[in-house]
Structure formats: structure tokens, C-alpha cells
Amino acid sequence: MGTVNETNVYFGPDALRKYFDPNCQPPLPLVELPRQLNPYRDEGVRIYAKMMTMHPANNVKALPALNMLENRVTGQTKTIVEYSSGSTVVSMSMIARVMHGIDDTRAFLSNKTSEAKLRLMQFFGLDIILFGGPSQPEPHDERGGIQTARAMQSDSTVNPNQYGNEDNWQAHVRWTGPQIFRQLPEINVICAGMGTSGTMTGLGTYFGKTKPSVFRLGVCTAPGDRVPGPRPFALLKPVEFPWQAAVDAIEEVTSLDSFSLSLDLCREGIVCGPSSGFSLTGLFQMLEKRRHAGTLSQLAGPDESIHCVFLCCDLPYQYIGEYFEKLGPEKFPPIRNERLTRVDHYRYDESWERSPVVLFTHFYELPRSLSPSLVRDLTLRPLCCVLDLRTAADSAAWHLPGSVNLPLQSLDAHTPNPFSDAEVLESQWLELDALFSRARAVDQLEARHVLVLCYHGDTARMATSVLRAQGIEADSIRGGFQALREFGLFRSSCILRGRITAA
């Protein structure tokens, strides 16, 4: 396994190559599950998650990709082509760049692939070609993408062919099995899901030779069901790898159990995708059958404990939508004020909230005096506009000279702050958006500097956000008319019909 890099630091011009090379890394973590995730702990069962997700490529397929490319790529290779549902070809793309300097990796995959996976592959720069038909075609089906990719093999194009390449499963003989055995020589059970079957074939082959007493459990999807990655047992029959000799038993697992247990693992700190919950569910099913049959203790080692390892193969993030579809809302905390997801979509900027001083620096001609008893006839500057959102009665009693009253039905002097009351924010935003999205309203305000005022400032702040989204230069007064009073501009006066009179 080479020298262990205990500091986990990678130096020099080949730092990335060493970072991806398992021979230059510490072993990937092996983490024992806490009691709340292990219903068999009181019967001497100890369960460990092998965190294959902690490889730089974040999934179990990185090691097969590394092994397959190492033995296939030559100096003439320009292109990598692989039929893959996601993890394998994404890993190949990264490893081809890092290890071999190849930028052109092409993914052949089913047209039934989720949008999240397609976006993920685009994110990593893959050239995607979709194929119709079964989402998991048989390796030798001439109508599928597996055979199309295989036929493209040439001096300049390499098809690693994960479905028939012995280097796929040999990667786990080379790296994963030895890592686990080094970390946990007491191991009694090894468990992994079966898709191409490479992972379980490699692990089962390794432990079959290194420690034959280890019970080797493969996990398949239940007939007619689907979990991302693994296959139903019926689709394993044409697989060319010697998986039959590498497993002692097969469990079939449903997608509902897989997603549910994966969610439990994630919430307890073992962040992993549905195929990890899938493998653990299969392990639980096997343990339960043995407990019921009274043969559970036969798996124990000399320490009378049963040490079980299952593989965490990928991460949950690309499957988030499927978790909600499979498990339903009862598995997830509610979003409080969810109504706000439908409103208040435009940006805010602190520079759009202004001090009352802006009245005399931007919007009104500077008066002879700021004394309320001496201020006379404030005049709006050219191309400036003041919108007063208060009720018609309050505006008539007290308003800035030249302001236009646009009373909101959702606003009066007693309306709660919209940013502390979701119902108020929703109703005010909908009204403001409808008001200022009208073409006529936008045309009237275009090329003007608009000041929006309300009672306490926050409704006007929201209006500014809406106006700015329409391309209108708009500002608000922080604190609204209340701030004008507190600033001392109108403490003992009122503005009535554009003139200042004694209050």
C-alpha cells in the first residue's frame, strides 16, 4: 500500500496526482455507527461505515476508474468514452485530467437520467450523449450505449468498459479490501451493493483469499424497484465478473428502505447517498434473518463480537429531490413562512435606504432654514418624484410637498412590520409588484429619481426593491415618516397641500 501520508498534505507539481492516488493517502475513514443506528448492538454486532465518499472524487467508483485508466490509457489516447449513470464517468473525467492530461471524456447514458445527474456531469465538463431504451441495458445488448461505446475503441479513443473490464473489480482487491483489513482485522462481515458488481466482486474475492471466515453479503434492488447505482438480481446474470464466487448471500432491498435509512445516517453525521442506506438495509435484513433463525452468533469472531463493514458509496446531494418524492413530507421538518418562497424575489441594497438628509441633498431645493417655523415652500428638484404609500387620509393630513399619494390597501398606520410578519410581507409585495409591473407606471417613473415613503420605512424599502427590479432608480427613507419627526424636521409643523403651517 506504499508509505502512508499521515499529514495528508500534498506538495509539488504533481500534488494533484498524489492527492488522487490511494497509495499516497491515509486510508479512507472507517466509522462505527452509534447505538441509535445499530439495532443489533446489544447482541454483540458492531457496524462500521467505510467512507468511500471521502476520496477526492467523492464516490466509490473513483478507484475502479483509476485502475481502469491506468491500464488502458496510452500516450496516443485523446478521448475517454464510457456508458455510465453518473459516478463512474464523473470520476473518470477527473482522473483522466489529473492523471493523464486528457480533457475529452464522453458520457453515454440513459435518457431517463435525472436532470440533477445531467447537470452534475455538465458541471464537471463531460460531453453527454443520451440513449433510449432500458436505463440499465444488458452489457451485450447491441442496441444500447454500452456496445456503442465499446465499438468506439481505437488508438486515440479508450472505452474502459466498466461492465467487462477486470480492472474494475480488481481495484477493490488492490486498494479497498486491504485498507479495510488493515483498519479492522477483526472483520466478520463485508457488505456492498451490486450494480456492475465490481465492488462486491473485488471485496469478496479479496476476503475470500485473505480471511475466508468473513461472510460476504451482496445487495440487489428488489424486483421492479430502483435505487441509483445497484441493479436487480435478474440483471446480474449477464455480468461477466466472477461475482457468484465472491458472495455468500444476496439480499434484495426496496428503494423506500434505502432512502429512509440513508436519511437517518445523514442526520446522525454519516453523510451518504441512497446506495449507502441500501447496503446497510441489506445488512440489517441478513442480521435479522439470522437472529430469527438463531444463527447470528455463528458470525462472531474470537472476541465474541460480530464486526460488520458496509460501504458508503456516494453522497446524497444529487438525489435530494428523490428523497422528498420517496419519503413524503412527514420525514422532513416544515418550512415556516413557506408562503414567502412565492414573493419578495428581488434584491435589496443598503445604499437604497437613505437618511432623512437625502431630502435636501437629492430631492428638494435647499431651504433657507431647517427650522420648522421658518421652512417655506419646499420645491422638488427636476426629475425627482416622491411616492407616498400611506392612506389617503394620512397623506392629506401630512405629506411632503409635491408627493404623489399611492395608498396601499395592505398598509395603514397600524400594519405590522412586513419583515416580522410573513402574511403582511406577502400581501404588500404582491400589491407592490402588481402596481409597479404595469407598463404605464414604469413609463411614468422612467428617468426619474424616485423617493418612496411609508409610516416606518420597511414597506417603502420593499417598494424600492420592486422598483429597482423594473429599472427605476428608487430610494427610501430608513424609518419613514417617523424618522422625519425624530430627525426634527417636522416636529412642530405639518405639511399640508405642499405648504408648511403651524401644527
What's the pTM value of the predicted model, to 2 decimals? Answer: 0.85
C-alpha 116, offset from chain centre:
9
Contacts of 400 (CB under 8 A, 6+ apart): 359, 378, 386, 388, 453, 495
Dump pLDDT digits (tens) for 103-161: 999 998 888 888 888 998 999 999 999 988 776 666 677 777 788 888 888 999 999 99
- Residue 110: per-residue pLDDT: 84
β-partners of residue 191 are: 217, 310
Report the alpha-carbon distance of residue 264 to residue 254 in Å, rounded. 16
Whole-angstrom CA distances from 151 to 161, 165, 449, 463 are 10, 15, 66, 61
Count of C-beta atoms within a 10 Å radius of residue 72: 17
pLDDT of residue 370: 55
d(CA 219, CA 230): 8
Ranges in the chain, pLDDT < 70: 1-4, 135-139, 367-377, 488-503
Choose among 273, 280, 278, 265: nearest CA to 318: 273
Q: What is the pLDDT of residues 309-328, one digit of tens each?
A: 999 999 999 899 999 999 99
Query: Exposed, middle or buried by CB within 10 Å (0-12, 13-18, 19+), for 180?
Result: buried
Selection from 46, 48, 45 nearest residue 312 by Cα: 48
Residues 332, 3: Cα–Cα separation, whole Å = 45
**What DSSP letter does each residue of 284-318 carry, written as one string?**
HHHHHHHHHHT-GGGG--TTS-EEEEEEE-S-SGG
Domains of the chain as residue ranges with CATH = 25-56+171-331 (3.40.50.1100), 62-158 (3.40.50.1100), 340-502 (3.40.250.10)
- Asked if 226 contacts 271 with a C-beta cutoff of 8 angstroms, the reply is no
Query: Do 221 and 255 touch, CB atoms closer than 8 A?
Result: yes
488: its cell numbers? 426634527
Check residue 196 and give its pLDDT. 87
- DSSP labels, 384-437: EEEEE-S-HHHHHHS--TT-EE---TT--TTPPPTTT-HHHHHHHHHHHHHHHT
Number of C-alpha atoms within 13 angstroms, CB side, residue 318? 21
